[in-house]
Amino acid sequence: MPEISKIEELPDRIYNNYNDATFFITGGTGFLGKVIIERLLRMFDVKRIYVLIRTKKDKSTDVRLTEVFANPLFDSVRQLKGDQIFDKCTVVSGDITKDNLDISKEDREILKKEIEYVIHGAATVRFDEVLKRALLINTKGVFSMIQLAKEMENLKLFCHISTSFCHPDQKVLREEFYRSKYHVEKLISLPDLLEDDAIDALSKSLMEGVP
């Protein structure tokens, strides 16, 4: 094992890669998403962070991003770099439950040309979530993000933040790909083909005993 002093002399690969880099983040209004955005702004001189945000009935996407920065979590980076640091963040209006993420053609082209790092953190973490909604967010959302990522011309990393409870029947989770017993294309088509009660009726067979 290298000596600690020698390790400290090694170049900071993360810093060098993230400096002047462009990110696309989902789940940015959530707990973990805020932490990621704050850390990127505080620790690195990033070029731009695009944040996918959906419009709510009473709030626009721009208002929702402004509310994110009003969180006390961002006080340190505000004091360190000033309010202008938040100008590096750009809203992308969209919805991971919708076809093609409900992103405009213009925004999609920008993402395809500029993004180097994707951090997909949008998800529902409710254990009692309605299956239809869980499929739309946690399955269709990931599928749509991967499809978009495949079109990105300068992509260096696609990071999917998943729950550690996705395989509760496994005593040990290894860093490997766990294959599903179902084709994702068929799963994400269920919300469009079946009514909510029909999907709920299929829950037991689809979950196969997993709580």
Instruction: In whole angstroms, give the CA distance from residue 184 to residue 146.
Output: 12
The predicted-structure confidence for 176-207, as pLDDT tens digits, reads as follows: 887 877 888 888 888 887 787 787 777 777 77
What pLDDT, on the 0 to 100 scale, is given for residue 85?
97
Q: What mean pLDDT do residues 16-33 have?
A: 95
Q: What mean pLDDT do residues 135-148 have?
A: 93
Q: What mean pLDDT do residues 84-89 have?
A: 98
What pLDDT, on the 0 to 100 scale, is given for residue 2?
52
What class has domain 13-207?
alpha beta
The predicted-structure confidence for 97-128, as pLDDT tens digits, reads as follows: 999 999 999 999 999 999 999 999 999 888 77
19: pLDDT strictly greater than 80: yes
Name the pTM for this structure: 0.86
Per-domain boundaries in the chain? 13-207
Distances in Å between the Cα of 142 and the Cα atoms of 56, 98, 138, 192 are 21, 11, 6, 17
Q: Identify the DSSP state of 96.
A: T
Q: Do residues 138 and 183 touch, judged by C-beta distance below 8 A?
A: no
102 DSSP β-pair partners: none
Q: What mean pLDDT do residues 10-22 have?
A: 80
Give 180 or 34, the one with higher predicted confidence: 34
Query: Quick one: CA dihedral 183, 187, 192, 193, positive or negative?
Result: positive
